[in-house]
Amino acid sequence: MSAAPPRCAGVLFDLDGTLLDSAPDLAAALAVITREQGVAMPDYARVRAVVSAGGSAVLRTAWPQAAPGQVAALLPRYLDIYAGMLAEHSRMFPGIDALLARIERAGLPWGIVTNKIEALTLPLLQRIGLAARAGVVVCGDTLAQKKPDPAPVLHACAALGIAPDATLFVGDDRRDVEAGRAAGVSTIAVGWGYSSGENPADWQPDVLVQTPAQLAQALGFAA
C-alpha cells in the first residue's frame, strides 16, 4: 500500500461495497421476487459478489440463462421490492463512520459517486445518516453518463470545487478505477467490497487497501 498524493483536496466514494454493506437488503429483495416467480434463490455469496454491478446483475444470479429482455422486464419489480426495504439491514462497513469523521475534522470535502439511481440512493443515505454529511451525491441518473464514464466524477469535483488532480476516488469496482483514471483523479481500490470475483490489483489503482484503517493511512491520517 502506498500513500495518497499529498495535494489531496477532497475525497469521493462509491456507495455500495465501499461505504455501505447493502448486499443483505439487495439479496432480501431478490428472495422476494424469486419466490414470486417460482425460481430458486441463489446462494448469498453469489449475489453479494455482483452487487456493485447493479440490479440487473443481481437478477441474473437467479436467471443466468435469461435473455436481456427478460431481465429488463423483471427489473422494475425487483427495484420496487428493494425500495420497500432500504436500510433494513444495510449498514456502513465497520470503521467507515469513524473514517468519514476524520475526513470531516480535517476540513476535507467528500462526496459520493454511485451508479445507483437517485430514487434509491437519496432515501438510503437519509436512513443511514449520510445525506446531510456528503458534500455532493452524484447518482446513476444524475447525468446522461454513469461510471465508467468520467463525467460523474468530474461533475462531483466541480460541485465540491476541487481540482481532479487533487481528488481521490475510492471504490470497490473496476468501473470506479476506470472512471477515476479517465477523470484524472487518483484512485484507491478497496478490498472489502463486492469485486465480482476479480482481483482489485488487476485494475491498477493508484492505491489498494484492505481495511478502512489502511484507507485512513493512505489518506494521510496517523494510525
User: How far is it, in rounded angstroms, from Cα 177 to Cα 186?
Assistant: 9
DSSP annotation of 43 reads P
Q: What angle do CA 52, 112, 163 make, to 5 degrees?
A: 125
- Going by C-alpha positions, the residue among 127, 126, 158, 129 that lies closest to residue 142 is 158
User: Catalytic residue at 25?
Assistant: no
Q: Which three cell numbers stand for residue 89?
A: 439491514
Residue 90 to residue 127: CA distance in whole angstroms: 10
Closest CA to 73 of 82, 60, 61: 60
- Among the listed residues 170, 32, 194, the one whose alpha carbon sits nearest the alpha carbon of residue 108: 170
Residue type, 51: V
- Catalytic pick among 14, 21, 172, 173: 14
Half-sphere exposure of 184 (CA within 13 A, CB side): 10
Catalytic residues: 14
